[in-house]
Chain A
Amino acid sequence: MKKLCFSGFIAFWSSIATMVAIHALAGEELPAAVNDTTYTLEEIAEHASLDDCWMAIEGKVYDFTDYLNRHPAGPGTMISWCGREATEGMRTKGYGPDHSDFAWQQMEEYLIGNLE
């Protein structure tokens, strides 16, 4: 048991060090191409269904249609925010805690433009 725990301890720090090292060596990732298109809240409101879901979050506009079914808590948690300004939903998950940094990063894949 002692040996197993010590091995786990070493393996843990080796993995963390490896990830940090790869990250440092990979250098800065290029910023995603800036999308200049702007949309109004009225335009966003036209995309308020499970088959076509846009949201405005912190001044940016996202098309989450392809993501809905991949949300860990199910598409149901997102549907009520489709076609709306959804910063509150992102920041509070509807009951308090913010989404993780990981979630915020993942969101950038669905960016389509800025809010007018």
Chain B
Amino acid sequence: MWFGFPIRPEQASTIAEGIDHLYYFLTAMDLFFTAIIFLTIFYFAIRYRRRSKAETAEQIEGSLPLEVAWTVIPLVLVVVTFVWSSSLFIRNSRPPTAATEVFVIGKQWMWQLQHPEGVREINELHVPVGRPIKLTMTSEDVIHDFFVPAFRVKKDVVPGRYTSLWFQATKTGSYHLFCGQYCGVNHALMRGEVVVMEPQDYERWLSGSKKAETMPAAGARLYEQYACITCHGTGKGPAFNDLYGSQVKLQDGKTVLADEEYLRESILFPSAKIVAGYDPIMPTFKGQLTEEQILQLLAYIKSLGATERKAAQE
């Protein structure tokens, strides 16, 4: 607060304070240089104002030491800022390994959020304080953007691929969730709340909410319903045990990391990457599965064991 004006949003996540410190540093640097320029101009403007028409100026063509000084000093400051900012960014972009995964689907103009336990929310996300949460996000139509100012996190939600972000809330309360990327007519209404609760309150909320199947259970149901099991359960197609996060050998000799993108592509466009030793017999499921169902299948595959080392890197 500054003369009754808030100057920053609430700090409600583990990374917020670090961002704010960098922000204060940058602000201070800005004010310092703006002050130097403004004061110098004012001083020169008054000190060297033209006093008579006949007055002539003293001609000075430049000064190499000065040029060097005002090249090197900003350069040093900029390098310091870059190093500070980038190391903070790298640290902030690595999710902790034990994060709880919540799936997010953006569509014009709402947020659909799914907890692993099967609770489904619209435009509201309940999370416990102090536990890292990882969001895996995709969009059903245009590019959206998941933005929670109080957490200082933001990431585009892009159709046709998965993006992710993570946060760990530090303070209970209700915080704005905005769509940051312009997404059409009701972009400004694509808002929601992130509700941070004490763990026991959260458990109570979770058990009191209407629960559908858990994500992996729903995925398992789809696995049978769409007859995936007839090949993938019988050896005609690659098995799913410990698949997620592993390196998969392809027919053309390459290997590929079995991450969300790869699994998604293999469901929608099965022939794009053929696993070595199998025939390209799988039909496409494009148009038959919703984004939500694909996420459920992914959750199911992940539940069958994951090679954590690789998954953690993403």
A binds B: no
